[in-house]
Amino acid sequence: MFSTASTTPEKLLQMLSALLLFAAVLGVVLFFASRVRGKRSDNLVGYLYLLPVVLLLAVGLVYPGLRTIYESFFDAQGNAFIGVDNYKTILTDGDQLTVLGNTIVWVLIVPVVATAVGLIYAILVDKSRFESFAKALIFLPMAISMVAAGVIWKFMYEYRVDQPNVKQIGLINQILVWFGGKPVQLLITDTGKLNTLLLIVVFIWIQAGFAMTILSAAIKAIPDEIVEAARLDGVSPWSMFVKITLPSVRTTIVVVLTTLAIGTLKVFDVVRTMTGGNFKTSVIANEFYSQLIRADNQGLAAALAVVLFILVIPIIVYNIRQVRQEA
């Protein structure tokens, strides 16, 4: 069961037995949980429900996370303690500052724009005849792997020289040419962070589907009476949106923004596949990968990961306050 399966039936069998094993584990947890009685039962049942999760997370995320924090105070090979030198590098080195700046641009733009597009689109297509088809179109990019997305956007951004016999194969440059302009080497132009913004477009393109789907569900759950009442009051469409729709889906928007912000902080494959982090487009998660894998600098990589932790703290704090307010 734990050995290599090489034919399809073997693989299937292995998968089924794994699922059975998992079901058995769950069964045991639930069995014990159902036996618990008495005053302390809530405590015990709570811990039992969380037991598998805590075990997996402790081994899979907490332990590596703590190790990373520890390693961030050591040198490239993890041999010598060097204090906060790695953090100094991140905060003083010119390249690293660009990386930090880019990450902040990403995390400010992506969640907001993706959520806005998702929300507007969800409202626009709501109840329309082609709703499910229309939604599938925006959802489609989510179904595409980054490797594939890289190819897709190559055919948007690609540059070909402006010469008589050479044709553009990137759509954007073709449009520029059609309108009498000259093709631009889009991905290596960092004036006004153009290339970073172009990469951000790709990520928004992928993530808007997530925002749209979740927000659409929330919109559909707004109780009818509220809407009816507002309508009887003769509320204008705009104030309907501002006074009814927005407040009703506010918590959902927070959830979506949070999820997207965290996802954006971790973004790495978009940058990796499209520019490799060159031309001043690198972000922390990509730089982390470069330092860990390419440059073999464990210490700096670890420190970069810790900076990611730190950047997410405001998001966590905000969410905790949300939870408190609701409670």
Site for other proteins in 139-198 (CB under 8 A): 139-148, 151-156, 159-163, 165-171, 174, 185, 187-188
Q: What is 126-195 written as a DSSP string?
A: TT-TTHHHHHHHHHGGGGS-HHHHHHHHHHHH------TTPPP-SHHHHHHHHTT-----GGG--GGGHH
Under the binding rule (CB under 8 A), the answer on residue 231 touching other proteins is: yes
Rounded CA separation 323/326 (Å): 5
Under the binding rule (CB under 8 A), the answer on residue 232 touching other proteins is: no
Under the binding rule (CB under 8 A), the answer on residue 211 touching other proteins is: no
Closest CB to other proteins among residues 105, 154: 154
Collapsing DSSP to helix, strand or coil, 249 comes out as coil
Under the binding rule (CB under 8 A), the answer on residue 104 touching other proteins is: no
- Residues touching other proteins, count (CB under 8 A): 174
Piece of the chain touching other proteins by CB under 8 A; list 98-106, 107-115, 254-262: 254-262
Of the residues 87, 105, 213, 318, which one makes contact with other proteins according to CB under 8 A: 213
Residue 249 CB coordination number (10 Å): 23
Neighbour-count burial for 108-130, b at 16+ CB within 10 Å, e otherwise: ebbbebbbebbbebbbebeeeee
Q: Which of residues 259-278 bind other proteins (CB under 8 A)?
A: 259, 262, 265-266, 268-269, 272-273, 275-278
Q: Which of residues 110-129 bind other proteins (CB under 8 A)?
A: 117, 120-128
Rounded CA separation 23/20 (Å): 5
In contact, 141 and 114? CB cutoff 8 Å = no
Closest CB to other proteins among residues 105, 162: 162
Q: Which of residues 80-99 bind other proteins (CB under 8 A)?
A: none
To other proteins, the closest distance from the beta carbon of 105 in angstroms equals 18
